[in-house]
């Protein structure tokens, strides 16, 4: 080979110099969340000033913008510069900039596999995937609870059809905030914490492929969250989470917060997914064949592909909304040569894969937990993987079922009805695998298992009702009603969030070395499961009785049912509160240690200490057998954690690429 | 798939009970009972009723889907409940379960059965959609409808959505515009749904008609009423602050009553109709002030965000 592949000296991250010693400056002089906030404020002021200048009537720069009564430029540029300022304040650009001008790295952010002790690291731009995982976990719980509070607001308002707690303006803001925050931020509720933390551990890697990309993907989420919330300060947005044009184009400046936040979250999704894909393809330990990949990793890879392929369309759509709102383009105005259908197609081309971004991680967690708690191998491993791949592929071919009533070409309806119903075949695989694993198993009703079982129950109802809305004649009645709302809450809240809870109870001992209180966990489970079903099951009936979604007022004869739902939803909220209490109580106050392998799992992540040491593994392990070989008396251990030196280089020498080059 | 036949779940302990047969015999009566209940008891009450042929087609589809869903849901639940009770972990048993990695026959059966059900549903839905009597099942078909009702020229009714109300124009009766939706029984009706501002959705619940109102687009939906009576019209697409209050009532009446009403209203509203823009399938948004002027003259407060000042509307 002519090209010198060995660098002259060992490289630090990003091809820089070897990592220098960590900075010893006092904490307030080091980039962290406080400098990020300062950066964001400065950025906002700069952007806002620039926007005001551009649109000022005095300067005569762009007459068609400054003469329109657009107030959007200052706020859009303010948000954009605030994001840049936030990231600069965090030190995201520091190393890149220093390398650009040829200065040595200052050791601030060069530790890719380990982080110092203490809590301060969680407030900084750290590159260790284990820190990012914890950051994501806490962040996601905060986002979920905030969005959940908005849901409590919605149900409070719907207690009565005629007496109002909120004004219609406030109500529609709450609906928009709840829907958007849940749908955009919960895309990463499992991939963020568990995907980032556990995938390297599960595939036997010391690190992820792109630590900076991964850390950036997390630090964009607080931006998106705060920008979305800031919309409330300027009147919110009245168009739910879908932002159909032309309503979104005509709305007041609160709509800019929606488009900026959702667009940013789209970027975060692309980055997070990209990192996971490359990590799984390139960083598997020797012996970690695709056929030995844990189901959770399969789910993360399929989710990541969906994110990387679908989110760009969302970013494009949000960009076009902002262009329509600021630069006075007319991409979505039918009367000016655009098309409101263009937005609906763009949005749902992202939006439907997105609901599988919200479903697949749940499948992954459930199929990961069931074999451990059943003490049996996963039934039909290949079918499970095929199910996830099948859902991933098909999810790009179904989006127009959201447009059945919209007046698009009716010829396409049978096709999209077919593709939508086809997707229930690979989804059915997941149930085959779960039920097959139950056969003659030794099922242990631990808290994670309870949540996993509840997820299957909820998803069954969510999936079957999905077939109702895929059928065009039935959908003519059900579309846009509370039936659809109940359907997707069964799949997302009942599927994704129950799986998230299962994951927290299952993996928190791994991630922190601390065990959650199991008694409180059981209480939380039963309240959450019963309240959830009591909340959303009646909503199918309410929707069938003709109550449209997102209404401020409804028919009087539906008040009893709506009150029942509202009261149940408060219990559901209470169960989430109980979770937060348990989380804080167990991890902050009691801190009961759980360092071993409490579930007796064969998973590679459980073969190292809890929490995992810096660098995860002392040496890159050699994987010997699959993760689900329960019940086989003489099954080999899942991996050799201390392989003799030279195994790795021998494995590399055997790889087809190296041999082809030789 | 990776399994050999000897790993068949049924071929477990030779003396053990036949779990598969037990599950089958729990599942079968449950399924039959539930399906009969749905078919006989729930069926006639399923939404959206059978006031029109399109509503009837939707009711029929929902019933068929429910009857087909029951065996699947019941199977999963019965199997899971049986497994969770029968094969729960017992104290002191630290053995692992049998190492069953799969079973080709069961996997193939599952995939075949689900595929057959799904393909049947897709074919059934397509048939229901395209069958002449159901005319696209009442869903908006866009400006060039391909599924039309049989029997005679349809009565044209234009539905105009605007924030936050629906108005209706009858082009075959001089193009008068009302807030009351009247249609005759046993007469195919063609709704031409459009909007003046943002996207609304015209949902006549009991008629089984749902069609988005897009500005600048004529979205056509058909139905034929089979019974007389009242029905409710709601907006089904979030259109701003008062989306939830965008509701009114319509009536299906005998043909003679309808003709009398239409003729009477045409004469009564003639001065206002003269102020309106000429009937067209879509309207330019710049015409809104003109329409509002006509509306104001007829005693209806103008739209454009001022329909409900200053108090909250109250629903019936």
The pLDDT, as a whole number, for residue A261 is 96
Q: What is the mean pLDDT of residues A529-540?
A: 96
A551 touches chain B (CB under 8 A): yes
Whether B1 shows a pLDDT value over 60: the answer reads no
State yes or no: pLDDT of B302 exceeds 60.
Answer: no
Given a contact cutoff of 8 angstroms between Cβ atoms, the answer to whether A136 and A188 are in contact is yes
Percent of chain A with pLDDT over 70: 92
C-alpha A316/C-alpha A267 separation (Å) is 11
Q: Which pLDDT belongs to residue A108?
A: 52
CA distance B64 to B70: 10
Residue A1's pLDDT band (boundaries 50, 70, 90)? Answer: very low
Q: What is the pLDDT of residue A446?
A: 94
User: What are the tokens at A127?
Assistant: 């590159």
Mean pLDDT of the region A635-657: 79
Q: Where are the alpha helices (DSSP H) in chain B?
A: 19-36, 53-86, 104-130, 255-268, 270-275, 288-297
Report CA-CA distances (Å) from A506 to A141, A246, A516, A598, A599: 16, 46, 9, 9, 8
- State the Cα torsion B171-B173-B174-B180 to the nearest 10°: -80
B positions 177-196 inside 8 Å of A (CB)? 193
Which secondary-structure segment (H or E) carries A618?
Answer: none
Q: Which of A251, A438, A473, A545 is the mutation pick for testing B, counting most B CBs within 10 A?
A: A473
Name the H helices within A439-517: 447-470, 472-478, 482-491, 498-512
What is the rounded CA–CA span in Å between residue A356 and residue A339?
27
Contacts of B243 (CB under 8 A, 6+ apart): A172, A548, A550, A551, A552, B164, B235, B237
Q: Does A460 contact B245 at a Cβ distance shorter than 8 Å? A: no
Which range, A53-57, A63-67, A78-82, A644-648, is most confident? Answer: A78-82
**Residue A54: predicted pLDDT:** 82
Q: For residue B273, is pLDDT > 90?
A: no
3-state DSSP helix/strand/coil percent for chain A, to nearest 5? Answer: 65, 0, 30
Supply φ then ψ for residue B168, to 5 degrees: -130, 135
Burial class (CB in 10 A: 0-12, 13-18, 19+), A53: middle
A648 vs B213: which has the higher pLDDT: B213
Q: What are phi and psi of A45, to 5 degrees?
A: -65, -45
Written as six digits, the tokens of B264 are: 């009477």
Q: How confident is the model at residue A632 (pLDDT cuts 50, 70, 90)?
A: confident
DSSP letter, residue B212: E
pLDDT digits (tens, 9 = 90+) for B161-173: 988 888 899 999 9
Token pair of B261, please?
């009403």
pLDDT band at B13 (very low <50, low <70, confident <90, very high): very low
**What are the pLDDT digits (tens) for A116-173?**
667 888 998 888 899 999 999 999 999 999 999 999 999 999 999 888 899 888 999 9
Choose the mutation target among A477, A544, A627 for the interface with B, i.e. most B CBs under 10 Å: A477
Encoded tokens for A593? 């240690």
In this complex, the residue of A474, A480, A552 whose CB is nearest that of residue B65 is A474
The percent of residues above 90 in pLDDT, for chain A, comes to: 68
What's the confidence (pLDDT) of residue A282? 92
Indicate whether B207 pLDDT > 70. Answer: yes
d(CA A283, CA A393): 24
Residue B209's SS3 state is strand
Query: How is A506-531 classified by DSSP, letter by letter?
Result: HHHHHHHSBPPPHHHHHHHHHHHHHH
- Render pLDDT for A45-55 as a digit per residue (tens, 0 to 9): 999 999 888 88
At A3 the pLDDT is: 45
Residue B200: phi and psi, rounded to 5, are: -115, 180
Structure tokens given for A446: 């631990």
- In this prediction, residue A335 carries a pLDDT of 75
Residue A347 forms contact with B (CB below 8 Å): no
Structure tokens that stand for A396 in this block:
């790009």
- Reference B139, options A246, A342, A474; nearest CA is A474
Query: A–B: how many Cβ contacts below 8 A?
Result: 324
B122 with A417: Cβ contact below 8 A: yes
B3 contacts in A (CB within 8 Å)? Answer: 380
**Is residue A107 predicted with pLDDT exceeding 60?**
no
Residue B284 CA to residue B16 CA, distance in Å, equals: 76
pLDDT at B311 over 70: no
pLDDT one-digit tens code per residue, A496-522: 999 999 999 999 999 999 999 999 999
The least confident of A104-108, A367-371, B2-6 is B2-6
pLDDT band at B15 (very low <50, low <70, confident <90, very high): low
Stretch A292-307: mean pLDDT, rounded? Answer: 96
Residues in chain A: 662
- Edge-first strand order for the sheet with B188-195 is B176-178, B165-170, B155-162, B188-195, B219-224
The distance of B76 to chain A (nearest Cα, Å) reads: 8
Strand partners, B220: B192
pLDDT in tens, B22-42: 999 999 999 999 999 999 999
Q: How far is CA A151 from CA A157, A171, A469, B241, in A?
A: 10, 11, 24, 18
Whether residue B97 and residue A630 make contact (CB cut-off 8 A), yes or no, is: yes
Q: Yes or no: say if A221 and A139 are a contact pair by the CB < 8 Å rule.
A: yes
**Whether the predicted pLDDT of B291 surpasses 80:** no
What is the three-class DSSP state of A640? Answer: strand
Pairing of strands B155-162, A639-640: unpaired
State the smallest CA–CA distance between residue A333 and chain B in angstroms: 9
Question: Residue holding tokens 């790295």?
Answer: A105
User: Looking at chain A from residue 172 to 191, which residues have their Cβ under 8 Å from any Cβ of chain B?
Assistant: 172, 175
Residue A60 neighbours by CB under 8 Å, 6+ apart: A66
* pLDDT given at position A391: 95
Whether the per-residue pLDDT at A654 is higher than 90: the answer is no
**CA B238 to each of CA A93, A244, A546, B163, B199: distance values in angstroms, whole numbers, following the listed order:** 41, 9, 15, 11, 8
Q: Give a three-class secondary structure readout of A131-197.
A: HHHHHHHHHHHHHHHHHHHHHHHHHHHCCCCCCCCCCHHHHHHHHHHHHHHHHHHHHHCCHHHHHHH
Q: Does residue B211 contact residue B221 with C-beta atoms inside 8 Å?
A: yes
Q: What one-character DSSP code corresponds to residue B248?
A: E
Q: Is the peptide bond before A40 cis (omega within 30 degrees of 0)?
A: no
Tokens 């599952």 locate to B110
Q: A66: how many CB neighbours lie within 10 A of its CB?
A: 17
The conformational region for residue B151 under phi > 0 = left, psi -120 to 50 = alpha, else beta, is: left
d(CA A159, CA A147): 19
Q: Would you say residue B135 has pLDDT above 80? A: no
- CA-CA distance, A605 to A638, in Å (whole number)? 10
Q: Is the pLDDT of residue A12 over 50?
A: no
Helix (H, G, I), strand (E, B) or coil at B230: strand
The Cβ of residue B77 has, within 10 Å, a number of other Cβ atoms equal to 16
Say what the pLDDT of residue A613 is. Answer: 87
A111 falls in which pLDDT band (50, 70, 90)?
low
Which value, in Å, is the radius of gyration of the alpha carbons in chain A? 25
Q: How confident is the model at residue A7 (pLDDT cuts 50, 70, 90)?
A: very low
Strand partners, B201: B212
Contact between B242 and B214 under an 8 Å Cβ cutoff? The reply is no
In 3-state terms chain B splits into helix, strand, coil percentages (rounded to 5) of 45, 20, 35
Tokens of A272: 């997070």
What lies within 8 Å, CB to CB, of B237 at 6+ separation is A244, A480, B199, B200, B201, B212, B213, B243
Selecting from A546, A551, A556 the residue whose C-beta is nearest the C-beta of B232 gives: A546
Average pLDDT, chain A: 89
Note which residues in 29-68 of chain B have CB less than 8 A from chain A.
46-48, 54-55, 57-58, 60-62, 65-66
Contact B83 A439 (CB under 8 A): yes
């Amino acid at each position: 080979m002519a090209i010198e592949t060995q660098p002259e000296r060992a490289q630090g991250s990003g091809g820089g110099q070897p990592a220098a010693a960590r900075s010893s400056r006092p904490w307030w002089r080091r980039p962290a969340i406080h400098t990020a906030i300062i950066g964001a404020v400065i950025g906002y002021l700069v952007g806002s000033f620039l926007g005001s200048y551009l649109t000022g009537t005095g300067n005569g720069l762009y007459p068609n913008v400054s003469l329109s009564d657009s107030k959007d430029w200052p706020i859009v540029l303010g948000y954009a510069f605030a994001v840049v300022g936030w990231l600069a304040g965090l030190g995201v650009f520091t190393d890149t900039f220093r390398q650009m001008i040829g200065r040595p790295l200052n050791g601030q952010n060069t530790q890719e596999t380990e982080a110092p002790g203490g809590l301060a690291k969680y407030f900084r731009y750290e590159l260790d995937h284990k820190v990012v995982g914890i950051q994501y976990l806490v962040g996601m719980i905060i986002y979920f609870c905030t969005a959940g509070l908005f849901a409590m607001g919605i149900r409070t308002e719907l207690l009565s059809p005629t007496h109002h707690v909120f004004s219609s303006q406030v109500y529609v803001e709450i609906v928009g905030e709840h829907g958007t925050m849940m749908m955009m931020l919960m895309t990463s509720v499992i991939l963020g914490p568990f995907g980032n933390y556990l995938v390297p551990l599960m595939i036997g890697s010391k690190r992820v492929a792109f630590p900076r990309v991964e850390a950036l993907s997390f630090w964009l989420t607080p931006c998106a969250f705060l920008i979305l919330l800031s919309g409330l300060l300027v009147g919110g947005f009245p168009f739910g989470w879908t932002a159909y044009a032309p309503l979104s184009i005509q709305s007041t400046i609160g709509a800019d917060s929606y488009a900026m936040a959702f667009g940013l979250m789209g970027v975060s999704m692309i980055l997070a997914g990209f990192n996971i894909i490359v990590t799984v393809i390139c960083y598997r330990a020797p012996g970690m064949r695709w056929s030995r990949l844990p189901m959770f990793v399969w789910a993360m890879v399929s989710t990541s592909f969906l994110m990387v392929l679908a989110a760009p369309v969302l970013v494009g759509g949000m960009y076009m909304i902002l262009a329509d709102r600021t630069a006075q383009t007319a991409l979505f105005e039918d009367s000016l040569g655009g098309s409101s259908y263009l937005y609906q197609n763009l949005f749902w081309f992202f939006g439907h894969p997105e609901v599988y971004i919200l479903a697949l991680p749940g499948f992954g967690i459930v199929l990961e937990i069931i074999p451990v708690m059943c003490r049996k191998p996963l039934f039909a491993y290949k079918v499970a993987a095929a199910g996830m791949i099948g859902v991933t592929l098909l999810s790009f071919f179904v989006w127009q079922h959201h447009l059945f009533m919209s007046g698009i070409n009716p010829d396409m309806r049978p096709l999209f009805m077919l593709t939508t119903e086809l997707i229930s075949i690979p989804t059915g695989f997941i149930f085959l695998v779960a039920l097959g694993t139950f056969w003659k198993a030794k099922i242990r009703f631990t808290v994670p298992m309870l949540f996993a079982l509840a997820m299957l129950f909820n998803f069954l109802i969510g999936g079957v009702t999905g077939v109702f809305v895929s059928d065009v004649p039935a959908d003519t009645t059900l579309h846009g009603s509370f039936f659809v709302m109940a359907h997707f809450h069964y799949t997302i809240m009942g599927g994704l969030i129950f799986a998230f809870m299962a994951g927290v109870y299952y993996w928190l001992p791994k991630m922190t070395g601390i065990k959650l209180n199991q008694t409180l966990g059981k209480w939380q489970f039963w309240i959450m499961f019963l309240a959830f079903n009591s909340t959303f099951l009646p909503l199918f009936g309410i929707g069938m009785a003709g109550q449209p979604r997102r209404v401020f007022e409804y028919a009087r004869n539906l008040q009893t049912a709506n009150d029942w739902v509202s009261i149940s939803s408060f219990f559901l909220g209470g169960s989430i509160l109980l979770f937060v209490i348990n989380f804080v109580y167990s991890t902050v106050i009691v801190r009961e240690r759980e360092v071993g392998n409490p579930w007796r799992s064969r998973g590679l992540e459980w073969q190292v200490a809890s929490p995992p040491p810096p660098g995860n593994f002392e040496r890159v392990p050699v994987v010997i057998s699959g993760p689900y070989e329960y019940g086989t008396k003489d099954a080999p251990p899942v991996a050799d954690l201390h392989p003799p030196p030279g195994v790795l280089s021998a494995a590399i020498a055997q790889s087809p690429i190296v041999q082809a080059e030789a | 798939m990776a399994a050999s036949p000897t790993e068949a779940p049924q071929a477990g302990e030779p003396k053990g009970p036949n779990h598969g047969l037990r599950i089958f015999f729990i599942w079968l009566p449950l399924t039959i009972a539930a399906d009969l209940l749905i078919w006989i008891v729930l069926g006639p009450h399923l939404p959206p009723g059978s006031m029109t042929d399109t509503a009837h087609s939707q009711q029929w589809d929902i019933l068929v889907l429910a009857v087909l869903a029951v065996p699947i849901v019941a199977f999963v639940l019965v199997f899971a409940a049986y497994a969770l009770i029968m094969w729960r972990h017992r104290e002191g048993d630290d053995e692992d379960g049998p190492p069953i990695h799969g079973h080709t026959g069961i996997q193939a059966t599952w995939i075949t059965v689900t595929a057959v059900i799904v393909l049947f549903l897709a074919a059934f839905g397509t048939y229901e959609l395209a069958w002449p009597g159901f005319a696209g099942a009442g869903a908006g078909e866009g400006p060039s409808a391909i599924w039309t009702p049989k029997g005679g020229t349809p009565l044209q009714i234009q539905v105009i959505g605007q924030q936050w109300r629906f108005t209706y124009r009858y082009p075959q009766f001089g193009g008068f515009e009302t807030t009351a939706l009247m249609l005759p029984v046993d007469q195919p009706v063609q709704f031409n749904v459009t909007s003046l501002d943002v996207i609304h959705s015209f949902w006549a619940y009991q008629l089984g008609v749902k069609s988005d109102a897009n500005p600048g687009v004529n979205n056509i939906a058909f139905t034929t009423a089979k019974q007389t009576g009242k029905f409710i019209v709601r907006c089904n697409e979030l259109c701003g602050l008062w989306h939830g209050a965008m509701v009114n009532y319509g009536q299906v009446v005998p043909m003679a009553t309808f003709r009398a009403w239409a003729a009477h209203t045409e004469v009564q509203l003639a001065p206002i109709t003269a102020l309106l823009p000429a009937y067209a399938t879509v309207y330019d948004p710049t015409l809104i002030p003109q329409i509002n002027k006509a509306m104001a003259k007829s005693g209806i407060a103008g739209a454009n965000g001022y329909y409900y000042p200053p108090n909250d509307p109250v629903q019936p």
